[in-house]
Structure 1
Amino acid sequence: MAFTEPFLHKEKPILITESWTSLHPRLIAGFSTKLEGESRVQKNTLNLGLHVGDSTELVLKNREKAAALLGFSGDSWVCAEQVHDHHIQKVGQRKNQDLGFTSYDHAIKGADGLYTDQEGLLLALCYADCVPLYFFAGDRNMIGAAHAGWKGSVGNIGGKMVDIWREEENISPETVFVIIGPSIGSCCYEVDDYVKSKADSVLFDKKITNPPYLEKDSGKYALDLKELNRQLLIASGVKKEHIITSSLCTSCEDNLFFSHRRDNGHTGRMMSFIGISKEDKEN
């Protein structure tokens, strides 16, 4: 798998991809780090998750900081409940309604994927090892985001986004661009026979013959979730050259990212985000 790292300037609290700057002048997509925040989960970190036992007050301060850096106020954020499934929800403007910025309970229920063709909305999902997927179809100003842990990955949530866009939005998969963001890498992600069998099932269904895992020991496998998602996206019709995959491993980059597996479950959350602003911020 070839990498063209989309997330540079790793010393910053917010990583913005420069890979899509030519696709739309007001498109912003990126991933937060754990740098320069006020969290108590891990002291003085930029935890953006409201559901991990942190102080709500401090998380909201962190979110306000992220909102200011991105130029998208909290009332423009749309968040999802993220239940490790593969349900995807189309969203639009909902005036005076909190869609997850200040309360986890207000996020879109039961969803792990969001998409919209509305400018001025920021699709925002939380992570601590799972794979962030970003989608863009420029001819329709359509953007999407999906949260792909192993369950979402074997459920082919990325391919489902592409299928929904084709079937319900009349968007050809060949026009879709995808970024596969920072997540735990095969260097740090070991799974058992059960998870491997689920991966094998979806790979067989899609006629993919190059499984993205290696057996390390009897019943133990190093699984590359990024590559699994990339192969499934290609099988769904996305062009290989339209997919960019991050090389960053959330577990390896201890100074930069939270990691559920590395930190034994007691950790914060990064956030993926994608949006198209209503106006050019330079004007």
Structure 2
Amino acid sequence: MQFDAKNMELHNSGGVQYLTFPSFSTYSFVRHAFSTRAGGVSQNEFSSMNLGFGRGDSDENVLENYRRFCNAVGFNFNSLVSSAQDHHTNIRRVGKEHCGIGIWKPKDMQSVDGLITNEPGVTLVTHYADCVPIFLLDPVKHAVGLAHAGWRGTVARIASAAVEAMTREFGSRPQDMLAGIGPSIGPCCFEVDAPVRDAFAQLTDLNPQELIHDDGNGKFHIDLWETNRRILMRAGLKASSITVAEICTKCNSNLLFSHRATGGKRGGLAAFLALTEEAEA
């Protein structure tokens, strides 16, 4: 089956395949990407561009994958800063002094599911295999952010927390910001039990009845994409400034790692977002 990139562009650079949002690519001072499985050195269930440490693949393979990905897309390997995800809503501001953390330096914090920066030459990195990546760009203040929204983070409105953090730290105005909701498990495949349904039903300002489909057998399907889009709009972003990739990781598990499709036997994807040095000009 041919992969349908829908609202993102699929690129191939020396065998490394990655996805970008056209709306973000418009800005010359921003570099961003979302990884795929293609172009790395990992084997078996990690094949081949595994960017997740601690899943059973060797650290040497993962580091080599990061180097290959950075070389292909144009990121400086030494500029990477990783999150420390555990489905909370803490947003961390990072700068050049944090470069390497979580990649070639040990993690120095826990419970960091979002990263923001306004410093050029700092590449934010967050990690995925079905959860929702949220890319944020303020083209006026020259600031960027990434947030990892699993179902818990979605219900806790991490997207809004990231917008608020950029407003507080950089003076960003939500109406100026752009957002991209990246590849993740879609409403076609995100099946849950009643307790998760009940958590989403509490989001009464988002008209949750439109986000939850009752399968009639004690199971429910939930639209994480639309939930996060509505949360971003409630945070002040314009609807026209939000791009939803509409790419389901489970449906496309041949190209994208999916936790559900593999029963957890898989590698990891990553989102990358940076201001380039020319933003200083």
Same fold (TM over 0.5): yes
1:133–1:158 Cα contact (<8 Å) kept: yes
**Aligned residues: CA RMSD:** 2.0
State the one-letter code of the partner of 2:269. M
Correspondence 1:122 to 2:144: no
2:21–2:180 Cα contact (<8 Å) kept: no
**Counterpart position of 2:275:** 276
User: How much has 1:199 moved relative to structure 2?
Assistant: 1.1
**Could you tell which deviates more after superposition, 228-237 or 69-78?**
69-78
**Counterpart position of 1:98:** 100
User: How much has 1:108 moved relative to structure 2?
Assistant: 4.5
Q: Distance in 2 between matches of 1:224 and 1:117?
A: 31
**Counterpart position of 1:88:** 91
Taking structure 1 as the reference length, what is the TM-score of the superposition?
0.90
Candidates 4, 7, 10, aligned match of 1:8: 10
Number of residue equivalences: 273
Structure number with higher helix proportion: 2
Deviations 1:190-217 (A, max 9, x none): 011111111111x21x353553120112
User: How much has 1:92 moved relative to structure 2?
Assistant: 1.0
Deviations 1:35-75 (A, max 9, x none): 12111352541000012111111111111101112322222
User: How much has 1:232 moved relative to structure 2?
Assistant: 0.9
Deviations 1:125-145 (A, max 9, x none): 110000000000011101000
**Counterpart position of 2:31:** 28
2:46–2:266 Cα contact (<8 Å) kept: no
Identify if the C-alpha distance between structure 1 residues 169 and 19 changes in structure 2 by more than 3 Å, giving closer, same or farther.
closer
**Counterpart position of 2:212:** 213
Identify if the C-alpha distance between structure 1 residues 123 and 223 changes in structure 2 by more than 3 Å, giving closer, same or farther.
same
User: How much has 1:250 moved relative to structure 2?
Assistant: 0.4
Show the 5 A alignment for 1:46-57: 46-57=49-60
State the one-letter code of the partner of 2:127. C
**Counterpart position of 1:169:** 170
The secondary structure found in structure 2 opposite 1:275 is strand
The secondary structure found in structure 2 opposite 1:39 is coil
State the one-letter code of the partner of 1:151. R
State the one-letter code of the partner of 1:6. M
2:206–2:231 Cα contact (<8 Å) kept: no
**Counterpart position of 1:179:** 180
User: How much has 1:32 moved relative to structure 2?
Assistant: 0.3
State the one-letter code of the partner of 1:16. T
The secondary structure found in structure 2 opposite 1:42 is helix
Q: Distance in 2 between matches of 1:121 and 1:168?
A: 16
Off by >6 Å, runs of 4+ in structure 1: none
Identify if the C-alpha distance between structure 1 residues 138 and 261 changes in structure 2 by more than 3 Å, giving closer, same or farther.
same
State the one-letter code of the partner of 1:234. M
Taking structure 2 as the reference length, what is the TM-score of the superposition?
0.90
Q: Distance in 2 between matches of 1:186 and 1:110?
A: 27
Q: Distance in 2 between matches of 1:56 and 1:116?
A: 27
User: How much has 1:166 moved relative to structure 2?
Assistant: 2.7
* Identity rate, percent: 33
**Counterpart position of 1:252:** 251
1:125–1:145 Cα contact (<8 Å) kept: yes
Correspondence 1:189 to 2:190: yes
Q: Distance in 2 between matches of 1:139 and 1:185?
A: 32
Q: Distance in 2 between matches of 1:68 and 1:124?
A: 15
Q: Distance in 2 between matches of 1:52 and 1:140?
A: 38
Long gaps (5+) in structure 2: none
User: How much has 1:160 moved relative to structure 2?
Assistant: 1.1
Q: Distance in 1 between matches of 2:65 and 2:71?
A: 10
Q: Distance in 2 between matches of 1:108 and 1:142?
A: 22
State the one-letter code of the partner of 2:17. P
**Could you tell which deviates more after superposition, 9-18 or 25-34?**
9-18
Q: Distance in 2 between matches of 1:98 and 1:9?
A: 26
User: How much has 1:12 moved relative to structure 2?
Assistant: 4.8
Candidates 14, 18, 33, aligned match of 2:22: 18
**Counterpart position of 1:155:** 156
1:4–1:245 Cα contact (<8 Å) kept: no
Q: Distance in 2 between matches of 1:247 and 1:110?
A: 27
**Counterpart position of 1:264:** 263
